[in-house]
Structure 1
């Protein structure tokens, strides 16, 4: 019991962090300004490290609310850039400035910060010269190169042909004494190639630079194909021990994302063959698999023309006032229909290969790869004809097989969410998808590396949330009660706090969008984000309140008996038994006639967890029955059959005869039986008398 109390206390303590920690504005802006102003005085002294840590400690408070920095970004960056552009500033000061500047980018994100950097024509050669002067192998100055690459990515968007900048000064590459003159475009391309092969964060910044540079109208015709050829040649015929540069893959993926379809289409077959031949989905490095999936899905999008599928399900108006008013929303559309010429469009053979690769990646070991594959399935499905998209949905549903790993269930739920969000799941397929989601919500097994099924349950909540946003009440009506009970049980009884809160959010979305869940407003106000956080509160306070509504009573009890009583976690089994005690008075006859025989049968299991939970559940259920009454006024204990009483009286003897009080599980069995006997004593359970005397 000490271990249980400690576990419950830790669970309660970790849930006290909430929205009350939110900040209102960037209150330390003056301190940051003073740190920057003081940098030129301390950059070469030990105090520089102290100030750097101070800046880090200030900014790390805003990781969750980085937008609070936005009003001050221009002023902060202007101070940094003044130090960098000052010709009198020594190299050490510039590197220190880039280090400080990196902290701003780290918090706010480079895609936002880069828009605030200066991007005049005069800045191009300045930044390019800075970059060319850097040592790519210097591990101490990588932040300088990272910031310069990002800065160059905004400067290269200048709306002038870059050939106008090809003036060769004596101190620049390509000067008169050189063997070959390099144009500005060649110099930038060389920078992209150089840092795409780096093994630090500069690879990501280089990919972003390549995506902005290679899609320029004056660059793409000359260098885009050459860059793709270089990337393919670099990673062709690799041996097992050879290095794959994920930065090169990231650059190719970024160019495919930002480039125009007509420009990319000539290179798509070659790139797909390259990715397929290299078999990136089997590579051990997560980043390689991640960018491989991104390349594959964007090649698939290149083969298919952009369009809004006319056959997709569209919900139409989504007014909360309409939902609460109980009338159909204007513009809601029924099943997806395909225009006569929609399915006549030829689908390139390469698209089938792309879809197959993406579906395989839904089983990947890493969440980020599965998530990218799920988004790819949704994006490509939106450009397919109706019949082909329906086939993709059917294949996704096959991932929910009992012999599939948890990763496949997780990837399948995310793919269903993406397909539903885009209206690609037909109402006919929605039923099968909803059943798969309900099964995923109940998936919870012990694993050596952690709780099996946790990710699947979390993504199943996301899929249920997506169903609410995508479909109207008419489409969801046949599945509303099943989804409501599954989400309510997860919100009350899941082991993980993130799953309980995700289920609460999905339940709330369904109530707000279509209002089909029984007693929806009352349940969601009971099982809100805060109340389901502490596990003990969710089990022993929230669940009994929800069980007071008859639509939820039996499903909640069945969930406890079928799943949580035999849970692999000791603390969950004890809480589940206590929760059964709290819920028994709602339908005592069902507990006496159905639940107790089921628990008796579980005591015969060879699984220690099942036996332990069943014994605890028997004691808690009988204690609750001794205090409850049936609908006709009789004591609830009178509904317990003589056969059940005989099994309860003989329970300890049977366990002893099977020698289950010995061995590794013996202590747990003895503890459970002692607890059960104590509960039976409190219930005044008859050991030799007629069962009707219970509670007297």
Structure 2
């Protein structure tokens, strides 16, 4: 009796624990799970969708999780498996009535495809049925969907025809992996003639015909068809079908037509080839490499590729995968291994690295960065085609589109991981050439992405830091003015990614001196960059280095100050975050130099005004430096021929003088005389005339207010001149200047 009671209590506890886990999932993952589950239960119990509004409700709920698809993964099995069972069962029951079965499965496929778009196909297809007998059933279902043509694209979208085709293609993507000869699964007449033969059976021919047709589609069916073909044609029993498909792609890639349909077909063919070279066996692919590479290189140089960024992206992907097939995987002893996989290994490795670093410091720093021993790898046989592949990937780093540069950078990292140290060092030198002043912003961006990939994979050794770090620092401040705007935010963002990769890839002993160089520049970008994505990227890179490298002075305090939300506001970043960070050693003068050299003369008027206020906020940390060095550097800039420079310098001098006065700092008489003569010098140079005269009048008015509030010593002549300037500004037709002057309270 007692044992039964104990068992009962245990069952109750387990039920409570299960309920609590389910409530946690409902609360923190899919908040609308109860509603979704009730709608799904109704569909499953009826074996079909009785009310189409329930499909729209589920899809609208799923769409809210587009950026957080991982939250739905605990529920995928309970959603996908029953719905696919409905699709399979209806296909079995109503094999003859094509119209009726499609009307049943289309709404169900809309729900399944919405999960694919949110969570990705890899997470969803795991729960598809995969019995061997389902292969022929799925092909028959796909054939029925293919033969049913929608009247318009609007009808196709509303009825779920596209979703049904995509779901069935993904179902076949799993089913073609059956470990038997596909010909033995084909029940059509005469299938015995195909078992053990190179000729593809009718079942495969149907898949090939339909998939080739879908490769000309502009929607997701093109990508999914390429994935299906990559799985099907790289099977050991599909050698002849694979060769036939490669010949077909040769015809497509050789046809330089401007027709839209042919262009989508070209995209589909190249994308399918890329998927095959990713999933296929080298034994199958190596025989077709020469022909595919000739088509790829010729197409990359054609006008067709020049007009299509997506095509260039697919070609770069295909290129790098050809290179991976040409270079078999092997262990490279020269690669950098910064961390071990166990907690105890981390602790031991950190102790060993720290001791080694101390020994190197005490003896000779030149021994710390040594050339790796490459004698064992000198006999590596590298095919001639690899050199052409690397050249194409390096040219892809200069591409005008980001997606192409990003794909080329990943290709550089993957190919380099299979080369010797000497060859990898040549690739690094070629990447560093992209950072030449004569190169455009695209080359700098592609070079940063390539450096990040090399570092992340352990292919950038500490011996090369002295060449790489100066380039990364320049990229962190890359900002090229083009007329009324500037370019370079993507370069700065990519440079922050390089610093982030450094923090993840290298040990503390190798990064200690490097982090001391990078930290001030990262925080300068985090506080003073115009773009919020660059500020957050730099802060994330600094946080990654602090968290993984450790032992960085005031690192945790700075990370807490410069967090994701604090940097969302540019004003808060300039006037609060930067001021808090500047109190720590090593940042103040870097911040001041950034404001004086880059932000005071920025093309954005609001940023110049903000930089002037930020400069005055930092004055309290070193009054002498600001009164002598900062103001002394700004005074000649008030007469600069560049409007942005003289406008920012005039505002900055006034704000700094006022800040020094509020800190009770007494200016030297000579400096007061120079400050007092700024307005007269501007008027004598006639800098109110022409374009920009209005903003100079506004800056001069603010300057007069600041020096008057700071009680700068002025002669009677200068006072009268300043009053005349204010009266003249008050008569200016610009209403903003008039309103500003009306609110001033000047004590002269």
Identify whether the pair has TM-score above 0.5, normalized to the shorter chain: yes
Q: Does 1:267 align with 2:288?
A: yes
Q: Does 1:196 align with 2:242?
A: no
Q: CA deviation at 1:346?
A: 2.7
Distance 2:169 2:121 in 1: 11
Q: Deviations over 1:575-629 (max 9, x none)?
A: 2111111111212222222221222232233322222211111111111222336
Partner residue, 1:616: 651
Select 1:279's aligned residue among 300, 314, 322.
300
Partner residue, 1:72: 75
Does the 8 Å contact 2:136/2:186 carry over to 1?
no
Q: Deviations over 1:358-383 (max 9, x none)?
A: 11111222222211111100111111
Higher helix share: 2
Does the 8 Å contact 2:48/2:104 carry over to 1?
yes
Q: List runs of 5+ in structure 2 lacking aligned partners.
A: 1-25, 95-99, 358-367, 717-746
Pick closer, same or farther for the CA change 1:459–1:467 going to 2, 3 Å. same
Select 1:389's aligned residue among 400, 404, 424.
424
Q: CA deviation at 1:44?
A: 9.7
Distance 2:489 2:27 in 1: 31
Select 1:31's aligned residue among 28, 31, 35.
35
Does the 8 Å contact 1:114/1:154 carry over to 2?
yes
Superposition pairs of residues 73-472 of structure 1, within 5 angstroms: 73-84=76-87, 85-86=89-90, 87=93, 89-135=100-146, 138=150, 139=153, 140=156, 141-168=161-188, 183-219=202-238, 221-240=239-258, 243-244=262-263, 245-279=266-300, 282-317=305-340, 328=353, 335=370, 337-446=372-481, 452-472=487-507
Q: CA deviation at 1:169?
A: 6.2
Pick closer, same or farther for the CA change 1:401–1:593 going to 2, 3 Å. same
Q: Deviations over 1:374-427 (max 9, x none)?
A: 110011111111111001111111111223222221111111011111221222
The 10-residue stretch of structure 1 (461-470 or 518-527) with the greater mean CA deviation from structure 2: 518-527
Does the 8 Å contact 1:472/1:514 carry over to 2?
yes
> Does the residue aligned with 1:523 lie in a helix, a strand or coil?
helix
Distance 2:76 2:594 in 1: 52
Q: CA deviation at 1:323?
A: 11
- Structure 2 length-normalised TM: 0.81
Distance 2:548 2:377 in 1: 31
Q: Deviations over 1:500-538 (max 9, x none)?
A: 121111112222233464432332232223322322222
Q: CA deviation at 1:150?
A: 0.9
Does the 8 Å contact 1:539/1:579 carry over to 2?
yes
Does the 8 Å contact 1:469/1:513 carry over to 2?
yes
Does the 8 Å contact 1:323/1:329 carry over to 2?
no
Distance 2:356 2:543 in 1: 23
Pick closer, same or farther for the CA change 1:181–1:278 going to 2, 3 Å. closer
Pick closer, same or farther for the CA change 1:661–1:51 going to 2, 3 Å. farther
Matched length: 655
Distance 2:31 2:519 in 1: 44
Partner residue, 2:62: 59
Greater Rg over alpha carbons, structure? 2
The 10-residue stretch of structure 1 (616-625 or 237-246) with the greater mean CA deviation from structure 2: 237-246
Does the 8 Å contact 2:183/2:200 carry over to 1?
no
Partner residue, 2:17: none
Q: Deviations over 1:308-359 (max 9, x none)?
A: 3211222244879859998735899954513313123232221111111111
Distance 1:316 1:119 in 2: 40
Distance 1:198 1:449 in 2: 42
Select 2:706's aligned residue among 660, 679, 686.
679
Pick closer, same or farther for the CA change 1:487–1:75 going to 2, 3 Å. same
Distance 1:645 1:517 in 2: 42
> Does the residue aligned with 1:121 lie in a helix, a strand or coil?
coil
The 10-residue stretch of structure 1 (371-380 or 544-553) with the greater mean CA deviation from structure 2: 544-553
Distance 1:98 1:283 in 2: 38
Q: CA deviation at 1:647?
A: 4.2
> Does the residue aligned with 1:637 lie in a helix, a strand or coil?
coil
> Does the residue aligned with 1:403 lie in a helix, a strand or coil?
coil
Superposition pairs of residues 533-612 of structure 1, within 5 angstroms: 533-612=568-647
Q: CA deviation at 1:196?
A: 1.7
> Does the residue aligned with 1:512 lie in a helix, a strand or coil?
helix
Distance 1:317 1:145 in 2: 46
Does the 8 Å contact 1:612/1:668 carry over to 2?
yes
> Does the residue aligned with 2:436 lie in a helix, a strand or coil?
coil
Q: CA deviation at 1:43?
A: 8.9
Does the 8 Å contact 2:600/2:648 carry over to 1?
yes
Q: List runs of 5+ in structure 1 lacking aligned partners.
A: 1-21, 630-634, 690-694
Partner residue, 2:12: none
The 10-residue stretch of structure 1 (60-69 or 368-377) with the greater mean CA deviation from structure 2: 60-69
Does the 8 Å contact 1:481/1:518 carry over to 2?
no
Does the 8 Å contact 1:59/1:103 carry over to 2?
yes
Q: CA deviation at 1:78?
A: 3.3
> Does the residue aligned with 1:328 lie in a helix, a strand or coil?
helix
Distance 1:451 1:59 in 2: 39
Q: Deviations over 1:408-462 (max 9, x none)?
A: 2111111101111122122232122111111111122455897521111111111
